[in-house]
Structure 1
Amino acid sequence: MRQKVNLNAYFERIGFAGSIAPTLATLETIHGLHPLAIPFENLDPLMGRPVLLDQASLEEKLLHKGRGGYCFEHNTLLMNELVELDFTVRSHAARMLWGHGEGGARMISHMVLVVDIAGSSYLCDVGCSIFTLTAPLKLRDGVEQTVGNDVFRLSKVEALWRLDVRVRDEWRGLYQFEPVEQSPADIAAINSLVETEYFNRALLFAARVDKEAHYALSGNRLSIYRPGQEPERRFAEDVPALRTMLAEVFRITLPTREDFEPALARVMSAVAAQAAER
Protein backbone atom coordinates (compact mmCIF):
# COMPACT_ATOMS: atom_id res chain seq x y z
CA MET A 1 0.00 0.00 0.00
CA ARG A 2 1.31 3.45 -0.99
CA GLN A 3 2.40 5.53 1.97
CA LYS A 4 0.84 8.93 2.63
CA VAL A 5 3.24 11.71 1.63
CA ASN A 6 3.04 15.24 3.04
CA LEU A 7 4.32 17.25 0.09
CA ASN A 8 3.60 20.58 1.75
CA ALA A 9 5.76 19.75 4.77
CA TYR A 10 8.61 18.65 2.50
CA PHE A 11 8.36 21.76 0.34
CA GLU A 12 8.35 23.97 3.45
CA ARG A 13 11.42 22.22 4.87
CA ILE A 14 13.49 22.62 1.69
CA GLY A 15 12.06 25.99 0.67
CA PHE A 16 10.51 24.83 -2.61
CA ALA A 17 7.94 26.86 -4.51
CA GLY A 18 7.13 26.51 -8.18
CA SER A 19 5.91 24.06 -10.76
CA ILE A 20 5.43 20.48 -9.57
CA ALA A 21 5.22 19.03 -13.08
CA PRO A 22 7.46 15.92 -13.37
CA THR A 23 10.07 17.66 -15.51
CA LEU A 24 13.85 17.91 -15.39
CA ALA A 25 13.56 21.52 -14.21
CA THR A 26 11.44 20.45 -11.23
CA LEU A 27 13.85 17.62 -10.40
CA GLU A 28 16.85 19.95 -10.59
CA THR A 29 15.20 22.49 -8.28
CA ILE A 30 14.21 19.91 -5.66
CA HIS A 31 17.59 18.14 -5.85
CA GLY A 32 19.35 21.47 -5.35
CA LEU A 33 17.28 22.57 -2.37
CA HIS A 34 17.13 19.30 -0.41
CA PRO A 35 20.81 19.04 0.66
CA LEU A 36 20.96 22.76 1.42
CA ALA A 37 18.18 22.35 3.99
CA ILE A 38 18.55 18.86 5.49
CA PRO A 39 21.96 17.80 6.87
CA PHE A 40 23.54 14.37 6.67
CA GLU A 41 24.05 12.70 10.07
CA ASN A 42 24.04 9.23 11.59
CA LEU A 43 23.31 10.01 15.24
CA ASP A 44 20.51 7.46 15.64
CA PRO A 45 22.55 4.34 14.73
CA LEU A 46 25.42 5.72 16.81
CA MET A 47 23.06 5.66 19.81
CA GLY A 48 21.85 2.17 18.94
CA ARG A 49 18.50 3.51 17.84
CA PRO A 50 16.94 1.83 14.76
CA VAL A 51 16.78 3.86 11.57
CA LEU A 52 13.16 3.78 10.40
CA LEU A 53 12.46 4.18 6.69
CA ASP A 54 8.66 4.40 6.64
CA GLN A 55 7.39 7.76 5.38
CA ALA A 56 5.79 8.83 8.65
CA SER A 57 9.04 8.31 10.57
CA LEU A 58 11.11 10.07 7.92
CA GLU A 59 8.79 13.07 7.93
CA GLU A 60 8.74 13.29 11.72
CA LYS A 61 12.53 13.21 11.98
CA LEU A 62 13.77 15.05 8.88
CA LEU A 63 10.92 17.49 8.30
CA HIS A 64 9.53 18.30 11.75
CA LYS A 65 12.28 17.68 14.33
CA GLY A 66 15.13 19.56 12.67
CA ARG A 67 17.21 16.42 12.33
CA GLY A 68 19.08 15.01 9.37
CA GLY A 69 19.72 11.45 8.35
CA TYR A 70 22.01 9.26 6.31
CA CYS A 71 21.73 7.99 2.74
CA PHE A 72 18.86 5.53 3.23
CA GLU A 73 16.76 8.18 4.94
CA HIS A 74 17.56 11.06 2.58
CA ASN A 75 17.14 9.12 -0.64
CA THR A 76 14.07 7.17 0.52
CA LEU A 77 12.43 10.46 1.46
CA LEU A 78 13.37 12.01 -1.89
CA MET A 79 12.14 8.93 -3.76
CA ASN A 80 8.76 9.00 -2.03
CA GLU A 81 8.34 12.71 -2.74
CA LEU A 82 9.26 12.27 -6.41
CA VAL A 83 6.92 9.29 -6.85
CA GLU A 84 4.13 11.41 -5.36
CA LEU A 85 4.91 13.96 -8.07
CA ASP A 86 4.60 11.24 -10.75
CA PHE A 87 8.30 10.83 -11.48
CA THR A 88 9.58 7.36 -12.45
CA VAL A 89 12.17 6.48 -9.80
CA ARG A 90 14.28 3.39 -9.07
CA SER A 91 16.50 2.74 -6.04
CA HIS A 92 19.90 1.07 -6.31
CA ALA A 93 22.49 -0.19 -3.85
CA ALA A 94 26.04 1.18 -4.11
CA ARG A 95 29.49 0.21 -2.87
CA MET A 96 31.69 3.06 -1.65
CA LEU A 97 35.07 3.54 -3.35
CA TRP A 98 36.23 6.70 -1.54
CA GLY A 99 38.76 5.77 1.13
CA HIS A 100 38.94 2.16 0.00
CA GLY A 101 40.99 0.15 -2.47
CA GLU A 102 40.05 -0.20 -6.12
CA GLY A 103 37.62 -3.00 -5.29
CA GLY A 104 35.70 -0.74 -2.95
CA ALA A 105 34.36 -1.20 0.57
CA ARG A 106 33.85 -4.71 1.90
CA MET A 107 30.12 -4.18 2.22
CA ILE A 108 27.46 -2.39 0.21
CA SER A 109 26.51 0.60 2.32
CA HIS A 110 24.98 3.27 0.12
CA MET A 111 21.72 3.96 -1.71
CA VAL A 112 21.22 6.03 -4.86
CA LEU A 113 18.29 6.82 -7.15
CA VAL A 114 17.81 6.81 -10.90
CA VAL A 115 15.02 8.97 -12.32
CA ASP A 116 13.72 8.57 -15.89
CA ILE A 117 12.53 11.71 -17.69
CA ALA A 118 11.61 11.99 -21.38
CA GLY A 119 13.74 9.06 -22.48
CA SER A 120 16.83 9.96 -20.40
CA SER A 121 17.98 8.67 -17.01
CA TYR A 122 19.49 10.74 -14.19
CA LEU A 123 21.48 9.75 -11.11
CA CYS A 124 20.10 11.45 -7.99
CA ASP A 125 21.77 11.31 -4.59
CA VAL A 126 21.05 13.76 -1.77
CA GLY A 127 22.58 11.48 0.89
CA CYS A 128 26.29 11.18 0.17
CA SER A 129 28.34 12.72 2.95
CA ILE A 130 31.63 12.84 1.04
CA PHE A 131 30.66 14.93 -1.99
CA THR A 132 27.05 16.01 -1.74
CA LEU A 133 25.38 16.27 -5.12
CA THR A 134 23.24 19.38 -5.49
CA ALA A 135 21.96 18.42 -8.96
CA PRO A 136 21.08 15.22 -10.80
CA LEU A 137 23.68 13.76 -13.16
CA LYS A 138 22.70 12.49 -16.58
CA LEU A 139 23.44 8.77 -16.77
CA ARG A 140 25.87 9.00 -19.68
CA ASP A 141 29.15 7.12 -20.01
CA GLY A 142 32.35 9.16 -19.82
CA VAL A 143 30.81 12.65 -19.90
CA GLU A 144 32.18 15.25 -17.49
CA GLN A 145 29.39 17.08 -15.64
CA THR A 146 29.86 20.17 -13.48
CA VAL A 147 27.76 20.55 -10.33
CA GLY A 148 28.50 23.73 -8.43
CA ASN A 149 32.27 23.81 -7.99
CA ASP A 150 32.81 20.08 -8.56
CA VAL A 151 33.25 18.05 -11.73
CA PHE A 152 31.87 14.49 -11.84
CA ARG A 153 32.10 11.68 -14.36
CA LEU A 154 29.95 8.58 -14.68
CA SER A 155 31.52 5.56 -16.36
CA LYS A 156 30.05 2.24 -17.39
CA VAL A 157 32.41 -0.53 -16.24
CA GLU A 158 31.03 -3.87 -17.40
CA ALA A 159 27.75 -4.27 -15.48
CA LEU A 160 28.46 -1.38 -13.10
CA TRP A 161 28.11 2.37 -13.14
CA ARG A 162 30.98 4.19 -11.43
CA LEU A 163 30.93 7.77 -10.18
CA ASP A 164 34.21 9.71 -10.00
CA VAL A 165 34.94 13.26 -8.88
CA ARG A 166 37.88 15.38 -10.00
CA VAL A 167 40.08 16.45 -7.09
CA ARG A 168 43.05 18.65 -7.99
CA ASP A 169 43.28 17.34 -11.58
CA GLU A 170 42.95 13.72 -10.45
CA TRP A 171 39.86 11.52 -10.81
CA ARG A 172 38.90 9.76 -7.60
CA GLY A 173 36.19 7.14 -7.22
CA LEU A 174 33.16 7.89 -5.04
CA TYR A 175 31.04 4.76 -5.49
CA GLN A 176 29.80 2.21 -7.97
CA PHE A 177 26.41 0.59 -8.39
CA GLU A 178 24.78 -2.14 -10.44
CA PRO A 179 21.65 -0.98 -12.32
CA VAL A 180 19.44 -3.54 -10.60
CA GLU A 181 16.42 -2.08 -8.86
CA GLN A 182 16.22 -2.69 -5.12
CA SER A 183 12.90 -3.21 -3.38
CA PRO A 184 12.06 -1.45 -0.10
CA ALA A 185 12.75 -4.78 1.66
CA ASP A 186 16.19 -4.97 -0.01
CA ILE A 187 17.04 -1.42 1.09
CA ALA A 188 15.79 -2.12 4.62
CA ALA A 189 18.05 -5.17 4.87
CA ILE A 190 21.13 -3.20 3.78
CA ASN A 191 20.18 -0.37 6.11
CA SER A 192 20.04 -2.78 9.04
CA LEU A 193 23.58 -3.98 8.35
CA VAL A 194 24.91 -0.44 8.03
CA GLU A 195 23.34 0.85 11.24
CA THR A 196 24.86 -2.11 13.12
CA GLU A 197 28.27 -1.33 11.62
CA TYR A 198 28.06 2.31 12.65
CA PHE A 199 27.10 1.39 16.21
CA ASN A 200 29.70 -1.36 16.66
CA ARG A 201 32.55 0.79 15.37
CA ALA A 202 31.33 4.07 16.94
CA LEU A 203 31.47 5.80 13.55
CA LEU A 204 30.19 9.38 13.42
CA PHE A 205 29.54 11.19 10.15
CA ALA A 206 27.85 14.49 9.37
CA ALA A 207 27.77 16.72 6.32
CA ARG A 208 26.19 19.94 5.15
CA VAL A 209 26.54 22.02 2.02
CA ASP A 210 25.80 25.66 1.32
CA LYS A 211 26.74 28.12 -1.40
CA GLU A 212 30.08 28.88 0.27
CA ALA A 213 31.44 25.49 1.27
CA HIS A 214 30.97 21.79 1.92
CA TYR A 215 31.31 20.69 5.55
CA ALA A 216 32.13 17.09 6.45
CA LEU A 217 32.63 15.52 9.87
CA SER A 218 34.30 12.14 10.36
CA GLY A 219 34.79 11.14 13.98
CA ASN A 220 36.01 14.35 15.60
CA ARG A 221 37.58 15.82 12.44
CA LEU A 222 35.77 18.60 10.62
CA SER A 223 36.82 19.31 7.03
CA ILE A 224 35.66 22.47 5.28
CA TYR A 225 36.01 22.54 1.50
CA ARG A 226 35.88 25.96 -0.17
CA PRO A 227 36.34 26.50 -3.91
CA GLY A 228 39.96 27.07 -4.91
CA GLN A 229 41.30 26.64 -1.38
CA GLU A 230 43.03 23.92 0.58
CA PRO A 231 40.64 22.11 2.93
CA GLU A 232 40.38 23.61 6.40
CA ARG A 233 40.64 21.08 9.25
CA ARG A 234 39.31 21.44 12.77
CA PHE A 235 39.17 18.90 15.58
CA ALA A 236 36.72 18.58 18.45
CA GLU A 237 38.82 17.95 21.55
CA ASP A 238 36.04 16.65 23.80
CA VAL A 239 32.34 15.76 23.90
CA PRO A 240 31.08 19.34 24.54
CA ALA A 241 33.10 20.58 21.55
CA LEU A 242 31.68 17.78 19.39
CA ARG A 243 28.14 18.69 20.47
CA THR A 244 28.77 22.33 19.59
CA MET A 245 30.17 21.37 16.20
CA LEU A 246 27.13 19.24 15.35
CA ALA A 247 24.72 21.96 16.40
CA GLU A 248 26.45 25.04 15.01
CA VAL A 249 28.27 23.84 11.89
CA PHE A 250 25.74 21.22 10.79
CA ARG A 251 22.65 22.94 12.23
CA ILE A 252 21.27 19.74 13.70
CA THR A 253 18.65 19.90 16.42
CA LEU A 254 20.42 17.51 18.75
CA PRO A 255 18.69 14.57 20.43
CA THR A 256 17.77 14.99 24.08
CA ARG A 257 18.06 11.27 24.76
CA GLU A 258 20.17 10.34 27.77
CA ASP A 259 22.29 8.02 25.61
CA PHE A 260 23.39 10.81 23.23
CA GLU A 261 26.40 12.07 25.18
CA PRO A 262 27.60 8.52 25.99
CA ALA A 263 27.45 7.84 22.23
CA LEU A 264 29.64 10.87 21.54
CA ALA A 265 32.02 9.69 24.28
CA ARG A 266 32.30 6.36 22.43
CA VAL A 267 33.24 8.28 19.29
CA MET A 268 36.00 10.16 21.11
CA SER A 269 37.30 6.89 22.60
CA ALA A 270 37.33 5.24 19.15
CA VAL A 271 39.23 8.21 17.70
CA ALA A 272 41.79 8.02 20.50
CA ALA A 273 42.22 4.27 19.97
CA GLN A 274 42.80 4.75 16.25
CA ALA A 275 45.38 7.44 16.92
CA ALA A 276 47.21 5.16 19.36
CA GLU A 277 47.42 2.42 16.72
CA ARG A 278 49.14 4.68 14.18
Structure 2
Amino acid sequence: MPEKVNLNAYFERIGFSGSIAPTLGTLEALHALHPAAIPFENLDPLMGRKVKLDQASLEQKMLVKGRGGYCLEHNTLLMNVLRDLDYPVRAHAARILWEQPEGGATMISHMVLLVEISGSNYLCDVGMSSFTLTAPLKLRDGVEQKVGNDTFRLLRDDALWRLEVRVGEDWRGVYQFDLVEQGPAEIEAINSLVETEYQSRALLYAARIDGEVRSTLSGNRLSIYRPGEPRERRHAPDVETLKAILSEVFRITLPSAEDLDPALARVIEAAPPVEPEA
Protein backbone atom coordinates (compact mmCIF):
# COMPACT_ATOMS: atom_id res chain seq x y z
CA MET A 1 0.00 0.00 0.00
CA PRO A 2 1.49 3.41 -1.01
CA GLU A 3 2.56 5.66 1.83
CA LYS A 4 0.39 8.72 2.43
CA VAL A 5 2.04 11.88 1.07
CA ASN A 6 1.35 15.33 2.51
CA LEU A 7 1.49 17.26 -0.76
CA ASN A 8 0.44 20.55 0.85
CA ALA A 9 3.33 20.42 3.33
CA TYR A 10 5.78 19.60 0.54
CA PHE A 11 4.49 22.39 -1.71
CA GLU A 12 4.70 24.88 1.16
CA ARG A 13 8.28 23.83 2.02
CA ILE A 14 9.53 24.30 -1.54
CA GLY A 15 7.31 27.27 -2.41
CA PHE A 16 5.32 25.59 -5.21
CA SER A 17 1.89 26.86 -6.23
CA GLY A 18 1.46 25.85 -9.86
CA SER A 19 -0.42 23.16 -11.75
CA ILE A 20 -0.12 19.64 -10.38
CA ALA A 21 -0.90 17.97 -13.71
CA PRO A 22 1.77 15.29 -14.38
CA THR A 23 3.46 17.23 -17.20
CA LEU A 24 7.06 18.07 -18.00
CA GLY A 25 6.40 21.67 -16.93
CA THR A 26 5.25 20.60 -13.47
CA LEU A 27 8.23 18.26 -13.11
CA GLU A 28 10.63 21.05 -14.11
CA ALA A 29 9.09 23.41 -11.55
CA LEU A 30 9.32 20.87 -8.71
CA HIS A 31 12.85 19.89 -9.69
CA ALA A 32 14.02 23.50 -9.58
CA LEU A 33 12.33 24.41 -6.30
CA HIS A 34 13.20 21.29 -4.27
CA PRO A 35 17.01 21.69 -4.07
CA ALA A 36 16.69 25.46 -3.62
CA ALA A 37 14.56 24.98 -0.50
CA ILE A 38 15.81 21.73 1.06
CA PRO A 39 19.59 21.46 1.57
CA PHE A 40 21.77 18.40 1.23
CA GLU A 41 23.20 17.41 4.64
CA ASN A 42 24.20 14.29 6.52
CA LEU A 43 24.04 15.36 10.16
CA ASP A 44 21.95 12.41 11.35
CA PRO A 45 24.47 9.63 10.66
CA LEU A 46 27.24 11.84 12.06
CA MET A 47 25.25 12.00 15.32
CA GLY A 48 24.69 8.23 15.28
CA ARG A 49 21.02 8.57 14.38
CA LYS A 50 19.28 6.10 12.10
CA VAL A 51 18.36 7.53 8.69
CA LYS A 52 14.74 6.56 8.07
CA LEU A 53 13.26 6.49 4.57
CA ASP A 54 9.58 5.99 5.39
CA GLN A 55 7.43 8.89 4.22
CA ALA A 56 6.32 9.99 7.69
CA SER A 57 9.93 10.27 8.89
CA LEU A 58 11.04 12.11 5.76
CA GLU A 59 8.21 14.62 6.08
CA GLN A 60 8.82 15.20 9.79
CA LYS A 61 12.51 15.83 9.25
CA MET A 62 12.60 17.69 5.93
CA LEU A 63 9.22 19.44 5.83
CA VAL A 64 8.43 20.12 9.50
CA LYS A 65 11.78 20.41 11.31
CA GLY A 66 13.58 22.48 8.68
CA ARG A 67 16.27 19.91 8.07
CA GLY A 68 17.77 18.54 4.87
CA GLY A 69 18.98 15.07 4.07
CA TYR A 70 21.29 13.08 1.83
CA CYS A 71 20.65 11.60 -1.60
CA LEU A 72 18.44 8.68 -0.60
CA GLU A 73 16.25 10.91 1.56
CA HIS A 74 15.87 13.64 -1.07
CA ASN A 75 15.14 11.33 -3.97
CA THR A 76 12.85 9.03 -1.99
CA LEU A 77 10.81 12.07 -0.92
CA LEU A 78 10.62 13.34 -4.50
CA MET A 79 9.78 9.87 -5.81
CA ASN A 80 6.85 9.51 -3.41
CA VAL A 81 5.56 12.99 -4.27
CA LEU A 82 5.78 12.32 -8.02
CA ARG A 83 4.02 8.97 -7.71
CA ASP A 84 1.25 10.65 -5.75
CA LEU A 85 0.92 13.09 -8.66
CA ASP A 86 0.55 10.10 -11.05
CA TYR A 87 3.99 10.22 -12.67
CA PRO A 88 5.50 6.83 -13.59
CA VAL A 89 8.75 6.84 -11.55
CA ARG A 90 11.52 4.26 -11.15
CA ALA A 91 14.43 4.30 -8.70
CA HIS A 92 17.92 3.27 -9.87
CA ALA A 93 21.21 2.70 -8.08
CA ALA A 94 24.26 4.75 -9.04
CA ARG A 95 28.00 4.65 -8.48
CA ILE A 96 29.73 7.99 -7.86
CA LEU A 97 32.47 9.00 -10.32
CA TRP A 98 33.06 12.60 -9.20
CA GLU A 99 36.42 13.08 -7.47
CA GLN A 100 37.00 9.33 -7.51
CA PRO A 101 39.94 7.36 -8.96
CA GLU A 102 39.59 6.02 -12.48
CA GLY A 103 36.73 3.52 -12.55
CA GLY A 104 34.70 5.35 -9.91
CA ALA A 105 33.77 4.48 -6.37
CA THR A 106 33.75 0.82 -5.44
CA MET A 107 30.50 1.16 -3.50
CA ILE A 108 27.06 1.85 -4.94
CA SER A 109 26.05 4.80 -2.79
CA HIS A 110 23.64 6.92 -4.77
CA MET A 111 20.05 6.78 -6.00
CA VAL A 112 18.55 8.50 -9.04
CA LEU A 113 15.07 8.60 -10.54
CA LEU A 114 13.77 8.05 -14.04
CA VAL A 115 10.41 9.67 -14.77
CA GLU A 116 8.43 8.77 -17.87
CA ILE A 117 6.52 11.52 -19.66
CA SER A 118 4.85 11.03 -23.06
CA GLY A 119 7.01 8.00 -23.84
CA SER A 120 10.33 9.66 -22.91
CA ASN A 121 12.43 9.07 -19.81
CA TYR A 122 13.91 11.92 -17.77
CA LEU A 123 16.72 11.65 -15.24
CA CYS A 124 15.80 13.40 -11.97
CA ASP A 125 18.18 13.87 -9.05
CA VAL A 126 17.69 16.44 -6.28
CA GLY A 127 20.31 14.94 -3.93
CA MET A 128 23.77 14.88 -5.52
CA SER A 129 25.49 17.29 -3.14
CA SER A 130 27.70 19.68 -5.15
CA PHE A 131 26.26 18.63 -8.53
CA THR A 132 22.58 18.38 -7.69
CA LEU A 133 20.55 18.90 -10.85
CA THR A 134 18.06 21.77 -10.90
CA ALA A 135 16.17 20.38 -13.89
CA PRO A 136 15.39 16.93 -15.29
CA LEU A 137 17.61 15.66 -18.10
CA LYS A 138 16.16 13.78 -21.04
CA LEU A 139 17.65 10.28 -21.23
CA ARG A 140 19.32 10.69 -24.62
CA ASP A 141 22.76 9.39 -25.52
CA GLY A 142 25.41 12.02 -26.19
CA VAL A 143 23.16 15.09 -26.28
CA GLU A 144 24.46 18.18 -24.43
CA GLN A 145 21.86 19.64 -22.08
CA LYS A 146 22.21 23.03 -20.42
CA VAL A 147 21.05 23.40 -16.80
CA GLY A 148 21.66 26.87 -15.40
CA ASN A 149 25.35 27.61 -15.91
CA ASP A 150 26.30 23.94 -16.27
CA THR A 151 26.29 21.71 -19.33
CA PHE A 152 25.63 17.98 -18.87
CA ARG A 153 25.49 14.97 -21.13
CA LEU A 154 24.43 11.36 -20.72
CA LEU A 155 26.47 8.63 -22.40
CA ARG A 156 25.34 5.06 -22.85
CA ASP A 157 27.77 2.14 -22.68
CA ASP A 158 25.89 -1.15 -23.08
CA ALA A 159 23.72 -1.46 -19.95
CA LEU A 160 25.26 1.55 -18.17
CA TRP A 161 24.49 5.25 -18.41
CA ARG A 162 27.11 7.82 -17.41
CA LEU A 163 26.33 11.41 -16.40
CA GLU A 164 29.07 13.90 -17.22
CA VAL A 165 29.45 17.64 -16.65
CA ARG A 166 31.61 20.00 -18.67
CA VAL A 167 34.35 21.67 -16.61
CA GLY A 168 36.23 24.16 -18.76
CA GLU A 169 37.06 22.30 -21.95
CA ASP A 170 36.87 18.84 -20.35
CA TRP A 171 34.07 16.41 -19.55
CA ARG A 172 34.15 14.88 -16.07
CA GLY A 173 32.10 11.95 -14.80
CA VAL A 174 29.50 12.60 -12.10
CA TYR A 175 28.04 9.09 -11.70
CA GLN A 176 26.95 6.01 -13.61
CA PHE A 177 23.78 3.96 -13.28
CA ASP A 178 21.93 1.12 -14.98
CA LEU A 179 18.26 0.69 -15.81
CA VAL A 180 17.56 -2.03 -13.25
CA GLU A 181 14.74 -0.76 -11.05
CA GLN A 182 15.46 -0.78 -7.31
CA GLY A 183 12.68 -1.67 -4.89
CA PRO A 184 12.32 -0.63 -1.23
CA ALA A 185 14.53 -3.47 0.06
CA GLU A 186 17.37 -2.60 -2.33
CA ILE A 187 17.13 1.10 -1.48
CA GLU A 188 17.25 0.30 2.24
CA ALA A 189 20.37 -1.80 1.69
CA ILE A 190 22.11 1.10 -0.07
CA ASN A 191 20.97 3.43 2.70
CA SER A 192 22.47 1.18 5.35
CA LEU A 193 25.86 1.18 3.58
CA VAL A 194 25.91 4.96 3.13
CA GLU A 195 24.82 5.57 6.71
CA THR A 196 27.61 3.35 8.04
CA GLU A 197 30.20 5.05 5.82
CA TYR A 198 29.31 8.51 7.09
CA GLN A 199 29.27 7.34 10.72
CA SER A 200 32.60 5.54 10.63
CA ARG A 201 34.62 8.23 8.82
CA ALA A 202 33.22 11.43 10.41
CA LEU A 203 32.34 12.75 6.97
CA LEU A 204 30.30 15.97 6.90
CA TYR A 205 28.76 17.21 3.67
CA ALA A 206 26.27 19.98 3.00
CA ALA A 207 25.17 21.69 -0.20
CA ARG A 208 22.67 24.31 -1.22
CA ILE A 209 21.67 25.93 -4.50
CA ASP A 210 20.38 29.49 -4.19
CA GLY A 211 19.68 30.79 -7.68
CA GLU A 212 23.03 30.68 -9.47
CA VAL A 213 24.99 30.45 -6.21
CA ARG A 214 26.20 26.97 -5.21
CA SER A 215 27.49 26.46 -1.68
CA THR A 216 29.17 23.24 -0.60
CA LEU A 217 30.67 22.10 2.67
CA SER A 218 33.12 19.21 2.90
CA GLY A 219 34.29 18.53 6.43
CA ASN A 220 35.00 22.00 7.78
CA ARG A 221 35.80 23.50 4.32
CA LEU A 222 33.20 25.82 2.78
CA SER A 223 33.19 26.67 -0.92
CA ILE A 224 30.81 29.19 -2.50
CA TYR A 225 30.59 29.54 -6.28
CA ARG A 226 29.08 32.63 -7.89
CA PRO A 227 29.14 32.92 -11.70
CA GLY A 228 31.85 35.29 -12.92
CA GLU A 229 33.53 35.62 -9.51
CA PRO A 230 36.46 33.85 -7.86
CA ARG A 231 35.34 30.95 -5.71
CA GLU A 232 34.97 31.95 -2.06
CA ARG A 233 36.64 29.54 0.36
CA ARG A 234 36.44 29.45 4.13
CA HIS A 235 37.13 26.94 6.85
CA ALA A 236 35.62 26.47 10.29
CA PRO A 237 38.30 26.14 12.97
CA ASP A 238 35.83 25.29 15.74
CA VAL A 239 32.39 23.85 16.40
CA GLU A 240 30.62 27.19 16.85
CA THR A 241 31.87 28.51 13.51
CA LEU A 242 30.83 25.29 11.81
CA LYS A 243 27.35 25.52 13.34
CA ALA A 244 27.04 29.11 12.14
CA ILE A 245 27.90 28.03 8.59
CA LEU A 246 25.34 25.22 8.67
CA SER A 247 22.67 27.56 9.99
CA GLU A 248 23.40 30.73 8.01
CA VAL A 249 24.75 29.49 4.67
CA PHE A 250 22.75 26.27 4.37
CA ARG A 251 19.75 27.46 6.41
CA ILE A 252 19.50 24.21 8.36
CA THR A 253 17.52 24.20 11.58
CA LEU A 254 20.14 22.58 13.78
CA PRO A 255 19.54 19.64 16.12
CA SER A 256 20.22 20.06 19.83
CA ALA A 257 23.77 21.04 20.81
CA GLU A 258 23.92 17.98 23.06
CA ASP A 259 23.68 15.71 20.01
CA LEU A 260 25.33 17.90 17.38
CA ASP A 261 28.38 19.40 19.09
CA PRO A 262 30.25 16.12 19.75
CA ALA A 263 29.65 15.04 16.13
CA LEU A 264 30.98 18.32 14.75
CA ALA A 265 33.98 18.11 17.09
CA ARG A 266 34.84 14.79 15.43
CA VAL A 267 34.62 16.48 12.02
CA ILE A 268 36.98 19.27 13.13
CA GLU A 269 39.39 16.74 14.60
CA ALA A 270 39.41 14.62 11.42
CA ALA A 271 39.91 17.60 9.10
CA PRO A 272 43.34 18.03 7.49
CA PRO A 273 45.35 21.08 8.58
CA VAL A 274 44.75 24.32 6.70
CA GLU A 275 47.62 25.18 4.36
CA PRO A 276 48.83 28.76 4.67
CA GLU A 277 48.15 31.00 1.69
CA ALA A 278 51.08 31.68 -0.57
What band does the TM-score fall into relative to the shorter chain?
over 0.9
Distance across 2 between alignment mates of 1:50 and 1:70: 13
Equivalent residue letter for 1:238: D
What do residues 94-116 of structure 1 show as CA deviations (whole Å, max 9, x unaligned)?
A: 00001112210121111100000
2:256 match: 256
Equivalent residue letter for 1:102: E
2:208 match: 208
Equivalent residue letter for 1:7: L
Query: Is the 8 Å Cα contact of residues 149 and 212 (structure 2) preserved in structure 1?
Result: no
Query: Does the residue aligned with 2:191 lie in a helix, a strand or coil?
Result: helix
Distance across 2 between alignment mates of 1:173 and 1:141: 14
Shift of 1:274: 10
Distance across 2 between alignment mates of 1:77 and 1:89: 12
2:66 match: 66
Backbone CA RMSD of aligned residues: 1.2
Alignment of 1:175 onto 2:175: yes
Alignment of 1:196 onto 2:199: no
Distance across 2 between alignment mates of 1:194 and 1:121: 27
Distance across 2 between alignment mates of 1:118 and 1:137: 14
Give runs of aligned pairs for residues 23-102 of structure 1, distance below 5 A: 23-102=23-102
1:244 match: 244
Alignment of 1:129 onto 2:140: no
Distance across 1 between alignment mates of 2:257 and 2:196: 19
Structure 2 unaligned residues grouped into runs of 5+: none
Query: Does the residue aligned with 1:163 lie in a helix, a strand or coil?
Result: strand
Query: Does the residue aligned with 2:93 lie in a helix, a strand or coil?
Result: strand
Give the TM-score normalised by the residue count of structure 2: 0.97
Distance across 1 between alignment mates of 2:176 and 2:229: 28
2:187 match: 187
What do residues 183-227 of structure 1 show as CA deviations (whole Å, max 9, x unaligned)?
A: 011001110111110010000000000113100000011111112
Give runs of aligned pairs for residues 215-230 of structure 1, distance below 5 A: 215-230=215-230
Equivalent residue letter for 2:137: L
Distance across 1 between alignment mates of 2:61 and 2:249: 19
1:233 match: 233
Shift of 1:12: 0.5
What do residues 44-76 of structure 1 show as CA deviations (whole Å, max 9, x unaligned)?
A: 011110100000000000000000000000000
Query: Does the residue aligned with 1:250 lie in a helix, a strand or coil?
Result: coil
Shift of 1:273: 7.5
Distance across 2 between alignment mates of 1:45 and 1:119: 39
Tell me the number of residue pairs that the alignment of Structure 1 and Structure 2 aligns: 275
Shift of the 178–274 alpha-carbon distance from structure 1 to 2, 3 Å rule, reads: farther
Distance across 1 between alignment mates of 2:157 and 2:231: 31
Alignment of 1:163 onto 2:181: no
2:151 match: 151
Give the TM-score normalised by the residue count of structure 1: 0.97
Distance across 1 between alignment mates of 2:70 and 2:100: 19
Query: Is the 8 Å Cα contact of residues 130 and 214 (structure 2) preserved in structure 1?
Result: no
